[in-house]
Structure 1
Amino acid sequence: METYRTEEEQVEALKRWWQENGKSTVFAVVLALGGVFGWRAWSDHQQNQAGEASAMFDQLLAADAAVQNTGRPTSTAETLAETVKSAYGSLTYGQFAALYKAKYAVMKGEYSAAAEELQWVLSKGPDAAVRSQTEMRLAQVYFAQGEYDQATALVEGLNGTGYAPEALELKGDILLEQGDADGALVAYREAKAAQKAQQVPSQRPMLDMKINDLASNEQGAQS
């Protein structure tokens, strides 16, 4: 500001400055404070949401354990899964809840409903680990529906993930259903190799049975 000769001139200058700049300055300060408090409120809200989602998801896990261990109906677990999905769909908890809904749909043979849940998860742009898991399950659902081209497209994209052994085995299953026993055997052996490369203990005895069965058929055809 200029240097004014009298007190009156200083007061008048301050009035003019306030009229020209004061309101915008206050508005800027209010916005800045609002941003700080708004961020804190949003952050607190997010933390509260995550805590609530975690608690409800724990209930879902307990209900799912009851289904698996005692053979209870899936109704309670399904209700909890739908609640978590609906309330916390923007969080990973909601995405996992949809995976559980898909699992229960598969258990009841409702493959179209399962596919819808899995496609919903993918539409949320999940992280890489959740995406791979979801794509693997969706490929299995497509296979169960006889949608072999769609299943193949998904398993081909899983070769570089932790689901490579499972995906390659499913690829073999698809080829076998399509009448390509030689291609199926190649895929099964690749699945076995991928399993060893990941140093994963063998927990897929059916894979060894498939390899042995097709390999013996191959040898029989050659002899």
Structure 2
Amino acid sequence: MHNVIELFKKHSRLLFISLLIIIIILFSWYYSKNYRKTQIYWDEQFNQHGLKEQECLNSIQYLNKNYNCYILLALLKSIQHEINQQNFYKAEQQLYWAKMHTKDKNLKSLINLRLARVQIQSNKLNNALKTLDLITSTGWVSIAEDLRGDILVKQGDIKSARKVYHKALSSSVSKFSQYLLHIKINNLSS
């Protein structure tokens, strides 16, 4: 018994820290498990019930009356849901509305980029190219040119795609984007 008490006295800090770490791990595991369950539940609820038509009409009326940038971001989330449901026409219409109702240059560039991607999914390649022409913000040009190159490849214009990829490469800041653009350039047939 005396040896056990000495052992506890000698290693009390180590025991305390070990016990604390075990408690933290258990609490973290418990809360992350509950968070995942809650997230799965709400995803299932949203996918099962979706938005009813009257709720959509009420939301649109609310958006028209109370527009601000946060509502626009919520609309972008709604558009993402439409895209996941393969409802490209509705997503395109919502993106046009969002584009008309924003004044922020970066948000407008983001919306135009998403609109171009939806138009590509709808196989409206010429419309997508026109939409990409509207992106002039410095930080977005590289991404727009990358997407323009993808459209040109899809149209079969390899020579123009190569030029556009090189233009995107010269204006790209991200090392990862540069790496992907090099891969795209190398994969183009001569």
Residues of 2 paired with 1:209 and 1:118: CA distance? 31
Map 1:173-184; keep pairs closer than 5 Å: 173-184=150-161
Paired letter, 1:152: L
1:24-72 deviation per Cα after TM superposition (whole angstroms, max 9, x unaligned): xxxxxxxxxxxxxxxxxxxxxxxxxxxxxxxxxxxxxx9xxx48xx993
Taking structure 1 as reference, are residues 169 and 74 closer, same or farther at Cα in structure 2, changes over 3 Å only?
farther
* Residue number among 68, 78, 92 corresponding to 2:69 in the alignment: 92
What SS does structure 2 have at the residue aligned with 1:163? helix
Does structure 2 retain, via aligned residues, the 8 Å contact 1:142–1:151?
Answer: yes
Map 1:73-152; keep pairs closer than 5 Å: 73=44, 75=46, 87-88=62-63, 89-152=66-129
What SS does structure 2 have at the residue aligned with 1:162? helix
Does structure 1 retain, via aligned residues, the 8 Å contact 2:116–2:131?
Answer: yes
Residues of 2 paired with 1:74 and 1:121: CA distance? 27
**Counterpart residue number, 2:169:** 192
Does structure 1 retain, via aligned residues, the 8 Å contact 2:106–2:137?
Answer: no
Residues of 2 paired with 1:86 and 1:209: CA distance? 46
Unaligned runs of 5+ in 2: 1-34
Map 1:1-223; keep pairs closer than 5 Å: 66=39, 72-73=43-44, 75=46, 87-88=62-63, 89-195=66-172, 199-203=173-177, 206-214=180-188, 217-218=189-190
Unaligned runs of 5+ in 1: 1-61, 219-223
Q: Which range moves more in the overlay, 133-142 or 100-109?
A: 100-109
Identity %: 22
Shift of 1:126: 3.0
Does structure 1 retain, via aligned residues, the 8 Å contact 2:82–2:91?
Answer: yes
Does structure 2 retain, via aligned residues, the 8 Å contact 1:132–1:161?
Answer: no
Shift of 1:109: 1.4
Does structure 1 retain, via aligned residues, the 8 Å contact 2:91–2:118?
Answer: yes
Q: Which has the larger radius of gyration?
A: 1
Residues of 1 paired with 2:142 and 2:77: CA distance? 22
Shift of 1:73: 4.3
User: Normalising by the residue count of structure 1, what TM-score does the alignment of the two structures yield?
Assistant: 0.56
Paired letter, 2:182: D
Paired letter, 1:188: Y
Residues of 2 paired with 1:166 and 1:155: CA distance? 10
Q: Per chain length, whose mean CA-contact separation is higher, i.e. which structure has more relative contact order (CA < 8 Å, sep 6+)?
A: 2
Shift of 1:84: 6.7
What SS does structure 1 have at the residue aligned with 2:186? helix
1:73-117 deviation per Cα after TM superposition (whole angstroms, max 9, x unaligned): 4827x76x9687653541111111111111111122111111011
Taking structure 1 as reference, are residues 117 and 138 closer, same or farther at Cα in structure 2, changes over 3 Å only?
same
Taking structure 1 as reference, are residues 211 and 92 closer, same or farther at Cα in structure 2, changes over 3 Å only?
same
Residues of 1 paired with 2:81 and 2:182: CA distance? 28
User: Normalising by the residue count of structure 2, what TM-score does the alignment of the two structures yield?
Assistant: 0.65
